[in-house]
Amino acid sequence: MSKLLAVLRNGPACFPVTLAQQRRWVTRLYTSYYPGVLYPNQLVQHKQRLPPDVTLGTALKTTPQTRHEEPVKEIDTDNENETRGVSWTDASSTDLMHTHKAGRQKSLPAATERPYVPLGEVAKLELQGDYYMEGGLFQEALEHYGVVAKAYSIAYPENHSQRIGILLKLAGAFRHVGRMDSSKANIENALRMLDASSRPSLELICEALLELGLTREALGMRQEGAEAYEEAVEVMNLFHNWGESHRMLRLLPRLGRRFNLNFEEKFVYFSPFDYDRTFAIADQCMERAERVHREAGNREGVIRVLQRRKEMIDKKFFNLRDFAGRIHTMRGHWMRRAQHLTNAPTPDELLRYTPTIHQVHRDFKYELTAPIGREKDVMPGVNRVVLDMGNPYRRRGRLSNKMLRDADHNFAKYVRREEYNA
């Protein structure tokens, strides 16, 4: 009997008891695939690139030796009008839009087929190398990046952005390991590829110049490193679109319609350091350049760098600005979200393209109404039937119509007056 009492007293310790969770708090059971929640911050950003006619060398105010492809000479052939037989390998061979280019296509060298590379597995290797870099295992990251760089050099054509990006990661790993010459050679190779490619990515340019500055600093060339940092920010100031990263994100706090519950959606904040990597790299460049100038005792350089950094941050945060909408709880109006989930123009674009600068010219001869005093500019069609003067108050009700009864007649008399026609 005493044993039974002891068991009953120590019941919770003897028998496993699961805590009962109230059903109203169990909102999701992640027993199957949960696709997540879609939100506009998951949109893929457009790559910011240099303009078509600008190379990296001209952007850096240098004159590098870039290779210019020779124009293909047109070959006059007599049988251009002849239609070739249909082949399964070239389904558009008999297309009328393409037959006149047949002779030109024959003169071009046959493009080699792209070799098969298991890019999914290569991407896993690259991600593992990124994890190693974050964890401080630089030698392992270097080994992974080397394999990935070789695979990318096989898979992608010359001067491809993927090859440039992995070269920059490889240079960073070399620098952390202490092999500065290899790091510098990889960065110079990446810069050469950026200069030879058409419309290179601005993010890759800034990253390459940041890596170049870091490697120069590690080699003891601190002043040259600061010059590379400032060059990166100059290029970014010239070609970066400051508001593009927050175009769909700026007005999202207006989607919140509750004041006391779920009110955090009124204060959603997307850091520019998370959604604009080019800006984050340039900010890091400015921080490094300031440190170099401060340690060298260059007061003018410190002031110049701080001024540029302040202007850069001001430009970016100006494009995050939004005025408050309704503060308290708003019921209904759920279709208003279509006004906030838009490609609304960024503050930069609003400032740049305001109609005070770009005046909209309205030629009233193409319109049916004109402001008072310019009615003669309207050119109605021949025999056009006009029911009334189109006064907007005609739909207001009986009293408005009573007030407007003679308005058209009086206005017609006013228009026919000699002083008006003079």
Contacts 24+ apart (CB under 8 A), 130-137: 130/169, 133/169, 133/172, 133/173, 133/176
pLDDT the model gives residue 67 = 38
pLDDT the model gives residue 12 = 55
Alpha-carbon dihedral angle through residues 98, 104, 106, 112, given to the nearest 10 degrees: -90
Q: How far apart are alpha carbons 390 and 379 in whole angstroms? A: 16
Write down the residue that tokens 């100059």 correspond to. 234
Do 93 and 84 contact (CB within 8 A), yes or no? yes
Write down the residue that tokens 């929640």 correspond to. 37
Alpha-carbon dihedral angle through residues 391, 396, 400, 401, given to the nearest 10 degrees: 70
Give the angle 227-233-235 at the CA atoms, nearest 5°. Answer: 100
> For the chain (length 422 residues), average pLDDT per consecutive 10?
62 61 69 88 94 92 45 46 57 57 60 88 98 98 98 96 98 98 98 96 98 98 98 96 96 94 94 98 98 98 98 97 92 91 94 83 90 86 81 83 75 69 60
Burial 204-242 (b: 16+ CB within 10 A, else e): bbbbbbbbbbbbbbbeeebeebbbbbbbbbbbbeebbbb
Residue ranges of the domains in the chain?
242-360, 364-420
pTM (2 d.p.):
0.71
Q: How far apart are alpha carbons 169 and 130 in whole angstroms? A: 9
pLDDT the model gives residue 393 = 81
Distance set, CA 214 to CA 26, 228, 231, 287 (Å): 51, 9, 13, 12
pLDDT the model gives residue 22 = 67
pLDDT the model gives residue 15 = 60
pLDDT the model gives residue 113 = 82
